[in-house]
Amino acid sequence: MRTQVAIIGGGPAGTLLSHVLRRAGIASVVLERQSRDYVLGRIRAGVLEWGSVEFLRANEVGDRMDAEGHVHDGTRIAWAGRDSFYIDIKKHVGSQFMAYGQTEIQKDLYDAGDRIGTEIVFDASDVEIHDITTGTPHVTYSANGDTARVDCDYVAACDGYHGVGRPTIPHDVLRTYEKVYPFGWLGILSETPPLPDLVYCNHPRGFALASMRNPMLSRYYVQCSLDDTVDEWPDERFWEELLIRLPEDTRDEVVTGPSIEKSIAPLRSFVAEPMRYGSLFLAGDAAHIVPPTGAKGLNLAISDVYYLSRALIHHYERADDRYLDNYSDMALRRVWSAVRFSWWLTLLLHRFPDQTEFDQRAQEAELEYLRSSHFAQASMCEQYAGLPFET
């Protein structure tokens, strides 16, 4: 098989890239290790920056998002059981965000792919990248017991944190930066009406977050120990803990019910540089991970695809490699800014096992500053809403 761009990973980054390229007449093949149903069953992100919303719209995969997603002007923050305060993002920076599940975006992308004829191979195992510095790379994989080969001009590794793309880059070229946090997030989905706003809470017993997917689907999280298992958290315990951590002004509004999904995710910050090696480009979680506190992971995957698709389109349509050559630097500027913001918000809102009384008081002072200062709120809003894409 011969194509122009071989894409490894059929998550949001890989499928969006193949979709945008296909619209520009550039051929690609996506190799996804899992089945389509498996990918669609993973519950993950729920918040889209406006730049992500506009990029999806511009590529005609935004209709259902616009019909079913929920536009928000701001978000709530609470601490130490006090009443929450509203941070009005629209007022401070003129931007909004959209609550729309990653699962739904993934479904929209697969459906759009069926319509416009993008090529996705599901259940592709043993993917390997070859000759990445030669200018004539190829990728091999196994499917249905056979081995297949894809010859291509470029390889885009959109294969997430545990993929094969990043380890293909030699150790003496790749530089990685990592911070692991000493807790996880236990998340549940329940078919109950959500609170009207997202509410982020810092409570003495740990962080909590109220979020949503649609008018009858709520998403809630509580900070938990890394040793905890889902079995140790029956629904009754989850709801009891969530209600303790939520501020009084929101507690009474929460409608509880049986969970339909429950999972624990560890929190990590991670960046790999550079995001290009020879003909290989990394995009999305393959190159970077952020703790979910800032709601940035999916948005970074989308902005990487924005930069990479533009670079490939300029290469094929105009023989202009300026954006390809700048891809790593340009993408990493946005990545580091989101990594810093996600780290900062994680420090502000969580209780750390080794937190001293000094740390505690400094954290409270910062929360008070955020509550009372227009400037602190504007800075947070600018980053939560997402920095603009570079031209």
Residues marked as catalytic: 72, 200, 292, 296, 384
CA distances from 223 to 116, 139, 191, 267, 296 (A): 42, 40, 21, 10, 18
Judge contact between 273 and 332, C-beta under 8 A.
yes
| Residue placing its CB nearer to ligand RFL in the complex, 247 or 292 | 292
Site pattern 291..320 for ligand PHB (x: CB under 6 A): -xx-x-------------------------
User: Does residue 32 bind ligand RFL (CB under 6 A)?
Assistant: yes
Q: Which x/- pattern over 268-307 shows residues binding ligand RFL (rule: CB under 6 A)?
A: ----------------xx------x--xxxxx-x------
Pairing of strands 70-72, 146-151: unpaired
Residue range at the interface with ligand PHB (CB under 6 A); choices 43-51, 108-116, 129-137, 267-275: 43-51
Residue 64 near ligand RFL by CB under 6 A? no
Q: Which residues have CB under 8 Å from 26's CB, separation 6+?
A: 4, 5, 312, 313, 316
Q: Determine, following the binding rule CB under 6 A, whether residue 201 of this chain makes contact with ligand PHB.
A: no
CB of 345 to ligand PHB, least distance (A): 8
| Per-residue x/- track, 323-362, ligand RFL (CB under 6 A) | ----------------------------------------
What track of x and - describes contact with ligand PHB for positions 245 through 284 (by CB under 6 A)?
Answer: ----------------------------------------
Among 10, 46, 113, 206, contact with ligand PHB (rule: CB under 6 A): 46
Size of the residue set binding ligand PHB (CB under 6 A): 9
Q: Decide: is 48 part of the binding site for ligand PHB (CB under 6 A).
A: no
Q: What is the 3-state secondary structure (H, E, C) of 21-62?
A: HHHCCCCEEEECCCCHHHHHHCCCCCEEEHHHHHHHHHCCCC
What 237-241 contacts at long range (C-beta under 8 Å, 24+ apart), as own/partner pairs, is 238/186, 238/188, 238/262, 241/205, 241/208
Nearest alpha-carbon partner for 336 in 384, 388, 278, 272: 272
CA distances 174 to 114, 287, 333, 351, Å, are: 36, 11, 17, 33
Residues that bind ligand PHB (CB under 6 A): 45-47, 198, 211, 219, 292-293, 295
